[in-house]
Amino acid sequence: MGNTNHMQGKAILTINAGSSSIKFSLFSVPQLNQFVVGQIDGIGGDAIFKIKWVDQPTEEVIAWPNNECPKSHRESLACLINWLHKALHDVKVIAVGHRVVHGGQKYSAPTLITEEVMDELESLMVLAPLHQPHNLEGIKAAQEYFGGIPQIACFDTAFHRTHSFVDDCYAIPRYFYDKGICRYGFHGLSYEYITERLMHMFPKEARRKMIIAHLGNGASMTALHNGVSIASTMGFSSLDGLPMGTRCGEIDPGVLLYMMEHEKMDAKAISDILYKESGLKGLSGGISNDMRTLENSDLLPAKEAIDYYVKEVKREIGALSALMAGLDVLVFTGGIGENSSMIRARVLKEMSWIGIELDEDSNLAGETIISDDHSRVLCLKMHTDEERVIARHTFGLAKMEMSEE
């Protein structure tokens, strides 16, 4: 970049606008050191604003009276911008990076947002109706409040655009594929971060046959060879594959036909059940969608929800390994994958048939390598950082504009 003094006091802002929250981070330029992370939760209800300075031990919490809470993403982002102006008067945001869930078949890399790009992303809302509208609302609000600075879209689907036709298609009439009805895969920003870290930490192993398990409130697994995604458990939507906090995961389409024909449920009612009332929450009889709560419960439905979850993760390890004709590396990440030693231990129990031997002490201690010395498969536990991936891509695409200032 040349003279780094030119970049002092400037930052990249990353925004991840969800259904009821906005997560954000600030990274210094050009080092891309994260120095602030925060989120506004409960948008539309009793919203609360949390800010954490990376070099400070505690977080700042801002709560509003009920009648003053931001009611929309645009109002919430206005609160965020107002806070930025007051708290960071000596720092200038020079580009904004956005997590966008769906990039369709066209976008296989981060993209500078233009009017044409926004039109295309809006056309994809039908493919991700519960995520895409909020992502785009965050973009529109940032465009309004930040004026003409570069806005970059980083896609959760882009990482998986390397799949072959047979790993992307469904066995339905082929013209549906031409309309975009195919397997997209998600959590790509997380997989990208983990893959890059592995290339530095374990360069030889990272080029072998690998499965990354992103296990959190949303969950999926991806098979990679030579660092490239070849198959994912998530398909056309973020419902498919593993059971999640409130999402069902894999389900027989006949169940949906039954709901329509015999329960007389319309699309919205079915959507609400599959997205909001299923997964761990549904299986546990409403006890919780949080794995921590279920692990601490003595109730049978909580135990059965965990049993089902573990069974499905095990099954997908076998299925993805079969597609690659083997397995050399298995990585756990995400909120559950990184923090639940119990889930990791149960998933890896009795997996010696595929070459996995767990080191129980290392797993309980939360070490990076959790397989023992006799394990043919290297098993790892790693922290993911989607925001850093967004920041890096945003900085790269905005570099030309910044150098011309």
Active-site residue numbers? 156
Least Cα distance to 104 among 164, 163, 157, 165 occurs for 157
Tokens of 112: 């500078």
Tokens of 253: 């389409």
Distance between first and last Cα of the chain: 13
DSSP for residue 291: H
User: Are residues 51 and 62 in contact, defined by beta-carbon separation less than 8 angstroms?
Assistant: yes
CA dihedral 228, 230, 235, 237 (to 10 degrees): 10
Give the whole-angstrom CA distance, residue 193 versus residue 380: 14
Give the whole-angstrom CA distance, residue 380 versus residue 348: 11
DSSP count for the chain of H helices, then E strands: 15, 13
- Calculate the alpha carbon distances from 134 to 52, 83, 84 in Å: 23, 21, 21
Backbone angles phi, psi at 251, to 5 degrees: -150, 145
Tokens of 116: 């044409």
The DSSP-derived string for 78-90 is: HHHHHHHHHH-TT
The SS3 call for residue 382 is coil
Kind of pairing between the strands at 209-215 and 34-41: unpaired
Give the whole-angstrom CA distance, residue 56 versus residue 400: 33
Give the whole-angstrom CA distance, residue 201 versus residue 193: 12
Tokens of 4: 């780094």
